[in-house]
Amino acid sequence: MRKLLLILDFLLCLSLSTSHTSFLPGDSKNARQHRKELNLKRPSEDSTAFESDIILASEKANKLAKEILSGNRKRRQTVQATKIWPNGIIVYKYDDNWPNSKLGNLSKRSMEKAMKMWQDKTCVIFIRQTPTTPRIGSYGSGVNIVFGHMCQTIAGRLEYGFGDLEVAGNCADNPGKLAHLLGHVLGIFHQHNRPDRDKYITVMFEALKQDAWKFFIKANENHTEQLNKPYDIGSIMHLGGHVMFNKYNITIQPKDKRLMAVMGQRTHLSFLDIKKVNDLYTCNRNCPRGPKCKNEGYIGPNCSCTCPLDLTGRKCQKVVQSFSECGGVLKRSSGTFSSPGYSQKYQNSTRCTWLIQGTAGSSISLNFTSFEIGDDANCYNDFLEVKTYGLTLEGPRC
């Protein structure tokens, strides 16, 4: 039998909208104040943005839309075949009409951050083409980054020529949202288009505008990047619960409602986002033999273990510890742990992870003897997460 493993995340991200980001456990007055000042909206969610962000070949898109509106929707529809980039090299350029403005410059910096997010964890490389750069690989295809009115992009590589990735005000200077668009460029589709999505989320069609329905078509199972990967609600490629027009309506709801807080995040690449790209581009093809990774780690681009978030070490056997007493591996049959310096306030932007390791076949239970956390109704900023779905997926929060 497999070992039962559990991660406990105790995270306090800096909340920009509050002056009380730390509090004394038990001090509920402070916690209430906390709530009043908190912006309950997900920090980077833009609920008005209509995430029709994949540019389909237009005749295909029209055909799909027609079929949906006429009720002739087939059960399985091809969205678009993934075309990956040879050798993982993506050539890009900024459009000739790129604005020479403060936002234009800021957006370039954010775009480079977003590229780095993918580049640091996979083997893909973004290479900027300038008038003096010689033409590099990729059969002359590339990405033309345009400043426009929508945040949308081609998905995968075009056979020939440069396809557009368009940025606009609501994503231009947000590295997380840009990393999402780049995910499409690399060949990754939205999670909610997976054929098995109805097991994990409920799409509230009645809350969606009709012309948004076409974005909820199930893609066929030939989306190789998703093959043999669990449904990932915490993916940067998952939409949030309030996408499409009516910001107070829930349009996508996780079957496990406690996962609402992790759905639609645009802050980091999930473990599986990274794995999809590493698999799609066979990033470890030059690794004859690496260490035997533990805890669901795998051999990544540098022939070393790529570990689930918060795990580290040569074989992913350790926990990321930002300072002592903040997280660790617990192996004893029972014990206690707490936030660092417990009974004192916990610090701003603290993230502590504990990995509780049982013997094969054992079960693990947690007994909270004292629990208080910043009063954040949606558990976006202050939360405790128990990874009940395993080490590679997000778990329920708060």
Ligand X SMILES: *[C@@H]1O[C@H](CO)[C@@H](O)[C@H](O)[C@H]1NC(C)=O
Binds 348: which of Zn ion, ligand X, none (CB < 5-8 Å by kind): ligand X
Give the footprint of Zn ion on this chain (CB under 5 A).
53
Q: Which of 88, 142, 300, 327 binds ligand X (CB under 6 A)?
A: 300
Q: Which of 332, 367, 370, 371 binds ligand X (CB under 6 A)?
A: 367
Q: Does 116 bind ligand X (CB under 6 A)?
A: no
Return the ∠ at Cα 7 (arms to 358 and 383), rounded to 5°.
Answer: 145
Q: Does 76 bind ligand X (CB under 6 A)?
A: yes
Residue nearest to Zn ion (CB): 53
Single-letter code of the amino acid located at 196 = D
Q: Which residues contact 389 (CB under 8 A, 6 or more apart)?
A: 230, 395
Q: Which of 7, 12, 21, 165 binds ligand X (CB under 6 A)?
A: 21
State how far the Cα of 129 lies from the Cα of 118, in Å rounded to an integer: 19
Candidates 41-49, 89-97, 99-107, 370-378: pick the segment binding ligand X (CB under 6 A).
99-107
CB of 271 to ligand X, least distance (A): 13
State how far the Cα of 150 lies from the Cα of 172, in Å rounded to an integer: 10
Count residues near ligand X (CB under 6 A). Answer: 25
Please identify, using beta-carbon distances, which residue of 183 and 300 lies nearer to Zn ion: 183
Q: How, if at all, do strands 54-55 and 142-147 pair?
A: unpaired
Binds 66: which of ligand X, Zn ion, none (CB < 5-8 Å by kind): none
Candidates 19-27, 43-51, 127-135, 355-363: pick the segment binding ligand X (CB under 6 A).
19-27
156: tokens are 């995968």
Please identify, using beta-carbon distances, which residue of 153 and 392 lies nearer to ligand X: 392
Q: Does 285 bind ligand X (CB under 6 A)?
A: no
Binds 301: which of ligand X, Zn ion, none (CB < 5-8 Å by kind): ligand X
Please identify, using beta-carbon distances, which residue of 249 and 317 lies nearer to ligand X: 249
Please identify, using beta-carbon distances, which residue of 53 and 166 lies nearer to Zn ion: 53
CB of 375 within 8 A of CB of 31? yes
Q: Does 302 bind ligand X (CB under 6 A)?
A: yes
Contact string (CB under 6 A) for ligand X, positions 236-275, x = contact? ----------x-xx--------------------------
Task: Give 272-308 as a DSSP string.
Answer: HHHHHHHHHTTTTTT-SS-----TT-EE-TTSSEE--
Q: Which of 3, 116, 120, 377 binds ligand X (CB under 6 A)?
A: 120
Residues tagged in the binding site annotation for Zn(2+): 180, 184, 190
Contact string (CB under 6 A) for ligand X, positions 328-357, x = contact? -------------------xx---------
CA nearest to 129, candidates 159, 92, 75? 92
CB of 316 within 8 A of CB of 335? no
Single-letter code of the amino acid located at 122 = T
Q: Does 19 bind ligand X (CB under 6 A)?
A: yes
Long-range contacts formed by 54-63: CB under 8 A, 24+ apart: 54/79, 54/80, 54/152, 54/153, 54/154, 54/155, 54/184, 54/189, 54/190, 55/152, 55/153, 55/154, 55/155, 55/163, 55/164, 56/80, 61/214
CB of 50 to Zn ion, least distance (A): 11
Please identify, using beta-carbon distances, which residue of 130 and 369 lies nearer to ligand X: 369
CB of 229 within 8 A of CB of 276? yes
Return the ∠ at Cα 212 (arms to 277 and 167), rounded to 5°.
Answer: 55
Contacting residues toward ligand X, per CB under 6 A: 19, 21-22, 76, 78, 100-102, 105, 120-121, 206-207, 220, 222, 246, 248-249, 300-302, 347-348, 367, 369
